[in-house]
Amino acid sequence: MAKSLFEELGGKYERQSDYLIPCITVPAEEEQAIGIWGQRHSDYLKQHRKVTYTNLLTSGRLNAYLADIDRQAQERSHRLIEGMKQAQDITERLKEENALEWVGRLNHIRACAREIVEEEIIYV
C-alpha cells in the first residue's frame, strides 16, 4: 500500500479498533507565568479571534505570546499611573493630609489606566 502524504512527511498512525488515527502533538513550549492582563487577552482571543488563538496554540507560541502581552500591559499601566499621579499632583503629602481623598483619586487613576491599557493592548 502506498504511503500517504502524512506518512511521507514523517507522520505516524496509531490503530484504534478498525481506524488509523494520526499521532499529532502540539510542540512543547516553555511555561511562563501569565498574569491578569495575559489572561484577559487570552479570553479575548478565545471569544473574538479564534483563528489567531488556534494558530498560536498549535504552533507552541501561545504561552510566550501571552506572557509578552502581560509584561507590556503591566509596564504601560505602571507608566500611565505614575504619569497621571504627577500630572494631578497626587503625592505622599496628600496621603498624609487626606488619606480618603488620596485613595479615591488613586483609584480613579487606576481605573483610567486600566481602560487605556485594555483599549491599546488587550482588546486588539
Ranges of residues in the chain whose predicted pLDDT is under 50:
none
Backbone angles phi, psi at 2, to 5 degrees: -75, 145
Average pLDDT, the chain: 92
Task: Say if residues 122 and 37 touch (Cβ distance below 8 Å).
Answer: yes
The model carries a pTM of 0.78
- In this predicted model, what pLDDT tens digit does every residue of 35-45 receive, in sequence order? 999 999 999 99
> Domain boundaries in the chain?
34-122
Number of other residues whose CB lies within 10 A of the CB of residue 109: 19
Q: Under DSSP, is residue 24 helix (H, G, I), strand (E, B) or coil?
A: coil
Q: Give tens-digit pLDDT for 70-86.
A: 999 999 999 999 999 99
